[in-house]
Amino acid sequence: MKHILFNRTYWGYSTYDFSNSGFVLIFQSFLLPVFFLSIFPEALDAEFSWSIVVAFYSIISIILSPIVGAFGDRSGRASLFATLIFCAGIMTFYAVSNYETVAILMVAFVIAAVAFELSQVIYDSFLPELEIPERRISLSSFAWGIGYLGGAFFAVCYLLVDDRLEDVRILQMFAVLYVLFSLPAIWFFCVRSKKKQKKANTSRAKFSSATSSRRTEKPRREISHKKTVQSSPVVGWKNLFIIWAILQSAVVSFSFASIYMSKYIGMSTTQIGVYVLCMQLLAVILTPVIGFYSEDRPMIVLRLCLLGWLVFLLGLLALTVDSWIIWALVILGAALVGSTQAIVRGLFARQVIEDVSGVQFGYFAIAQKGAALTGPGLVTLILAFGGNLSLVYVLLGCLIIAAIGISFKMAPW
């Protein structure tokens, strides 16, 4: 664990997980959606409008992710990463500042959210160049754990200013904080990019010098040989399906768990809040620890994670208000929610070549964002036909079983 805790690269990389968790919490999951409700006279109009915003930025992000990733591979990721972060922060600030004109708010935030989602693609694509393949899961998991700390920090900041500032001022403040807390990551990647470029120029100069000196030497017998070119690995559908299945379970389980526990189990809001807080705090510790111990046996841990999600979904179906199962699910959820997503990111990074990691992680983002769309879509479809969340969890269990079967037929990552 020493190579993790005292590693500047790990801390430098993790700084953006810290800030982007705050953006997700404040602008995509909590405060901005609630603020959206307050500016519409009818709640249904607000819910419909917010669903349009989410659908638009999700679909646009899915389409652009491989394209922007490929552009970053060719033009340089560090500068593109910084541009996307500043675009996300500035457009978010502009959107909430013009909340009185709903159309401007919606369009500006769609642009901001797309820039934010694409910055995550570029951020993930740095993984292969920062660590050797055998340790990329550790780096991914450590950063994910730091992300939980970032979410907790932004939540505490909100509690401190909630009664002192208007919602618009709070949202503006968090837009600025997102950019400020992203600056260390921008600096980290820009410095590494300059060092990498300098090293490449030095190597190029040495090669040119060596070539010139050979021309002055006595000609030698030429040895014919074939140049081996390492091609970009194919992103297999099996890999992406398993990633999608895991993220699908995470999105649906935790997006609708509070509704399920309140409506079907009868838990109070306070009870649900305590359980969620305990799960978050446990995840800060369990996520990097599980990631570290999965380095030597990634496929085994991946299958155990899939089994864990199956048990979690079955546990939700057996849940009661006073059941001991709830604490078992809190511990299991803390072990699964961050670690499984971090592990699949690290596993995916193992098969990616550094020079084309941007476009490869663009495909990863398609599976990731696809889950964010299809998960709520599945819930809406089942509820529309008279079903309930219990049926949703049963179907997700079937999806996980299919993913487990596929994992035995795929090559190790």
One domain, residues 167 and 251: no
What whole-number percentage of the chain has pLDDT above 70?
Answer: 77
Which residues make Cβ contacts (< 8 Å) with residue 163, sequence separation at least 6?
none
Both tokens of residue 1? 């664990």
The answer to whether residue 223 sits within a structural domain is: no
What was the pLDDT predicted at 95? 94
pLDDT value for 346: 87
Question: Is residue 6 assigned to a domain?
Answer: no
Is residue 125 domain-shared with residue 256, that is, in the same domain?
no
> pLDDT > 90: what percent of the chain?
24
If DSSP codes are grouped into helix, strand and coil, which group holds residue 6?
A: coil
Give me the pLDDT at residue 216, please.
53
Segment 163-182 shows an average pLDDT of 93
What is the C-alpha separation between 292 and 285, in angstroms, rounded?
Answer: 11
| The predicted structure's pLDDT at residue 228 | 40
In a domain, 125, yes or no: yes
Q: 206 pLDDT exceeds 80?
A: no
- CA nearest 342: which of 143, 152, 148? 143
Does 5 have pLDDT greater than 50?
yes
In this prediction, residue 388 carries a pLDDT of: 72
What is the average pLDDT across 27-35?
A: 82
3, part of any domain: no
Examine the pLDDT at 259 and tell me if it is beyond 70. no
Answer yes or no: is 209 within a domain.
Answer: no
For residue 305, the model assigns a pLDDT of: 83
248 and 154 housed in the same domain: no
| Per-residue model confidence (pLDDT) at position 174 | 95
Determine which of 138-142, 365-369, 380-384 has the lowest per-residue pLDDT on average. 380-384
Question: CB count, 10 Å around CB of 272?
Answer: 18
User: Do 270 and 391 fall within a single domain?
Assistant: yes
Q: What is the CATH number of the domain that holds 315?
A: 1.20.1250.20
pLDDT tens for residues 140-164? 999 998 998 888 888 888 888 888 8
Mean pLDDT of 354-368: 85
Contact 62, 362 (CB under 8 A): no
Domain holding 180, by residue range, is 11-199
Q: Please tell me the distance from the alpha carbon of residue 268 to that of residue 281, in angstroms, as a whole number.
A: 20
Same domain, 281 and 350: yes
The pLDDT of residue 67 is 95
Q: Which pLDDT score, from 0 to 100, does residue 42 have?
A: 63
What is the per-residue pLDDT for 118?
A: 96
More confident residue, 305 or 41: 305
- The closest of 145, 161, 143, 154 to 29, measured between CA atoms, is 154
Q: What is the mean pLDDT of the chain?
A: 80
Specify if 215 maps to a domain: no
Specify the number of domains making up the chain.
2
**Contact by Cβ (8 Å): 63, 69:** no
What region does 166 belong to: left with phi over 0, alpha with psi -120 to 50, or beta?
beta
Query: Does residue 44 surpass a pLDDT of 70?
Result: no
Separation of alpha carbons 49 and 37, rounded Å:
10
Same domain, 193 and 244: no
Number of H helices, E strands in the chain: 16, 0
Q: Of 171, 199, 227, which marks where a domain is finished? A: 199
Q: Which of the pair, 97 or 199, is modelled with greater confidence?
A: 97
Q: How far is CA 233 from the centre of its chain?
A: 22
Domain annotation covers residue 239? yes
Let me know if residue 217 belongs to a domain.
no
Q: Are residues 251 and 184 in the same domain?
A: no
Do 156 and 246 lie in a common domain? no
- pLDDT for residue 226: 41
Domain boundary among 144, 171, 199: 199
pLDDT for the residue 39: 80
Look at residues 199, 227, 243 and tell me which one is the last residue of a structural domain: 199
pTM: 0.80
What is the DSSP track for 240-252? HHHHHHHHHHHHH
Q: Could you tell me where the DSSP H helices lie in 98-135?
A: 102-125, 127-130
193 with 303, same domain? no
DSSP secondary structure, 331-358, as one string: HHHHHHHTHHHHHHHHHHHHT--GGGHH
Contact 178, 89 (CB under 8 A): yes
78-113 pLDDT tens trace:
999 999 999 999 999 999 999 888 889 999 999 999
Indicate if 171 and 41 belong to the same structural domain: yes
Which is more confidently placed, 277 or 227? 277
pLDDT digits (tens, 9 = 90+) for 309-349: 888 888 877 776 666 788 888 898 888 878 888 888 888 88
Could you give the 3-state DSSP secondary structure of residue 215? helix
